[in-house]
């Protein structure tokens, strides 16, 4: 079984990446083969609305017809047994690279046709377990209220198209930098940030590990 993690952060060694690596360790502990893909290594666009995937007689079969560096990643995602997506919150949403990935990952499998059996829109995607790890500056108290609806929207689309309940984890109050003294960031209480990280980061990593360990179950 293959589990792929998709890192929607530009940073390969900080909050989101660390959580995704831990999730993949969990998947490995469950016997899966794993791979981590860093979206920022690739040049690609979001959906260009060519609608090739919706044309009558289309051979796209749930894969985005627009060809660029994301094509091989989307093919790998189709083959994978499970996916764990991860992104920091940028201005109240997941990063632009993650959004562009999601457009290309979701739209080709969404049919604008109602399935008479369920009354819902048809999907071309095979069922697949999906996890989503969000990391953010926001503390728990308002992270959930401020970003909950956005996460709910993303997870709803993933669930509807990939026939799963998304296993999600929100990692709050992250340290955006290692050393706040090097930056003009007085808004943040550096000491409190580091204290929170010391007290919660390992616990969050463990939750990510468990998410990965259970993703196929």
Ligand X SMILES: Cc1cc2nc3c(=O)[nH]c(=O)nc-3n(C[C@H](O)[C@H](O)[C@H](O)COP(=O)(O)O)c2cc1C
With CB under 6 A as the contact rule, the residue among 15, 21, 22, 34 that binds ligand X is: 15
Q: Does 138 bind ligand X (CB under 6 A)?
A: yes
Secondary structure element (H or E) that encloses residue 147, with its range: helix 140-162
With CB under 6 A as the contact rule, the residue among 3, 4, 5, 9 that binds ligand X is: 9
Q: Does 22 bind ligand X (CB under 6 A)?
A: no
Rounded to a whole number of angstroms, the minimum distance from the CB of residue 144 to ligand X is: 11
Q: Does 21 bind ligand X (CB under 6 A)?
A: no
In whole angstroms, how far apart are CA 170 and each of 22, 66, 83, 94? 14, 32, 17, 12
3-state secondary structure of 7: strand
Q: Does 174 bind ligand X (CB under 6 A)?
A: yes
Closest CA to 15 of 133, 129, 120: 133
Tell how strand 82-90 and strand 2-7 pair up: parallel
Q: Does 90 bind ligand X (CB under 6 A)?
A: yes
Query: What is the footprint of ligand X within residues 32-51 (CB under 6 A)?
Result: none
Q: Does 137 bind ligand X (CB under 6 A)?
A: yes
The position carrying tokens 């970003």 is 147
Q: Does 187 bind ligand X (CB under 6 A)?
A: no
Contact 167, 216 (CB under 8 A): no
Closest CA to 23 of 139, 98, 130, 148: 130
Q: Which stretch binds ligand X (CB under 6 A): 28-36, 40-48, 82-90, 108-116?
A: 82-90
Q: Does 8 bind ligand X (CB under 6 A)?
A: no
Closest CA to 154 of 141, 166, 169: 166
Rounded to a whole number of angstroms, the minimum distance from the CB of residue 125 to ligand X is: 27
Contact residues toward ligand X (CB under 6 A) are: 9, 11, 14-17, 88-92, 135-138, 174, 176
């Amino acid at each position: 079984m293959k589990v792929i993690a998709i890192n929607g952060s530009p940073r390969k060694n900080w909050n989101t990446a660390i959580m995704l690596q831990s999730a993949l360790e969990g998947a490995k502990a469950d016997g899966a083969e794993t791979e981590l893909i860093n979206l920022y290594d690739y040049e690609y666009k979001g959906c260009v609305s060519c609608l090739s995937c919706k044309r009558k007689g289309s051979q796209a079969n749930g894969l985005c017809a627009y060809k660029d560096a994301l094509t091989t990643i989307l093919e790998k995602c189709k083959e994978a047994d499970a996916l764990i997506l991860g992104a920091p919150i940028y201005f109240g949403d997941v990063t632009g690279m993650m959004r562009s990935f999601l457009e290309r990952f979701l739209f080709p499998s969404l049919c604008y046709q109602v399935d008479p059996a369920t009354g819902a829109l048809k999907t071309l995607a095979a069922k697949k377990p999906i996890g989503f790890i969000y990391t953010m500056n926001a503390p728990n108290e308002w992270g959930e209220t401020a970003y909950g609806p956005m996460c709910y929207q993303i997870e709803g689309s993933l669930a509807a198209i990939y026939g799963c309940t998304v296993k999600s984890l929100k990692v709050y109050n992250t340290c955006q930098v290692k050393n706040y003294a090097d930056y003009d960031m007085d808004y943040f209480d550096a000491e409190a940030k580091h204290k929170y990280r010391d007290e919660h980061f390992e616990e969050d990593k463990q939750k990510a590990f468990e998410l990965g360990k259970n993703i196929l179950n």
